[in-house]
Amino acid sequence: MFPELPVIGDTLFTSSKPSIGELGTAGDFLGGTTVPFLTIASVLFLVSTIFIQRSQLKLQHDELTETQNIFRSQSFENTFFNMINLHNQIVQSINYVDTKTDPGGSIEYNGRDYFEFATNELISDFPDVNQIKLEKLIYGYGCYYEKHQAHVGHYFRNLYHIVKLVHDNTDLKEYEDKMKYMRIIRAQLSSYELVLLLYNALCSAEHWKESNFLNYINKYELLHNIERKLLIHPDHYNLLRSSTVQKAT
């Protein structure tokens, strides 16, 4: 099988002074048998190196993706809770002086006390609650809002943007993930704030055509804890889901 072996053996072991030809024969044999093995070893080493590099790159990519996800989550939560703090600051900064209720003087309402006063004032504009049609309700609230816009306009706009921030977050893939934050928003709202939110959404639907604030309120049950006895009429809660309102949005 290997005819050169006798020559190599003679050359390596019996000849004290091998000739150049004999050394050449031995070298050719060794070169011919070891080069393929070295080539295969090099290829295997190269393949192994590629696989190791690919594994390292995948690990680095996964770590980078996780870092980016953590950063986005932290950025979202920072923004969310800053807006919640802003919401509470807006409430605390509200100052309304009523000069009509008491002819002998004025009454000052601050913070959340204002919402109780504003709700009662709105209700007082509709003495015949059983005869209120939606058109009349929208008109009446429009007049009321025009009077109180300086105090509640910023409040409702900021509240809307908090809700939209959560709704637009694509990292919150499941409905329950979004509801976790919506419940935090809901927890900030007093009973009277919920009442004004209902009428603002119901009667200002034409202002939210692009943004669908009404749809957000319904979808995330922002008025879940509302006390219907505080409404102008308890049935007004059902108007939120009526086809008339949905067309307006």
Per-residue model confidence (pLDDT) at position 29:
54
- Which residues does 58 contact at the CB level (< 8 Å), separation at least 6? none
Which residue would you say has higher pLDDT here, 114 or 37?
Answer: 114
pLDDT digits (tens, 9 = 90+) for 6-21: 544 554 445 455 565 5
DSSP 45-112: HHHHHHHHHHHHHHHHHHHHHHHHHHHHHHHHHHHHHHHHHHHHHHHHH-EEEE-SS-TTS-EEEETT
Per-residue model confidence (pLDDT) at position 16:
54
pLDDT band at 4 (very low <50, low <70, confident <90, very high): very low
Q: How far is CA 73 from the centre of its chain?
A: 8
Average pLDDT, the chain: 79
pLDDT digits (tens, 9 = 90+) for 168-199: 999 998 999 999 999 999 999 999 999 999 98
pTM of the predicted model as reported, rounded to 2 decimal places? 0.69
Can you tell me the mean pLDDT for 51-62? 76
pLDDT digits (tens, 9 = 90+) for 70-99: 778 899 999 999 999 999 999 999 999 988
Per-residue model confidence (pLDDT) at position 248:
37
Q: Whose structure tokens read 């809770």?
A: 81
How far, in Å, CA of 39 to CA of 59, rounded? 30
Per-residue model confidence (pLDDT) at position 192:
95
Is the pLDDT confidence value at 202 over 70? yes
Report DSSP state, residue 13: I
Can you tell me the mean pLDDT for 228-239? 86
pLDDT band at 30 (very low <50, low <70, confident <90, very high): low
Which residue would you say has higher pLDDT here, 203 or 156?
Answer: 156
Is the pLDDT confidence value at 143 over 90? no
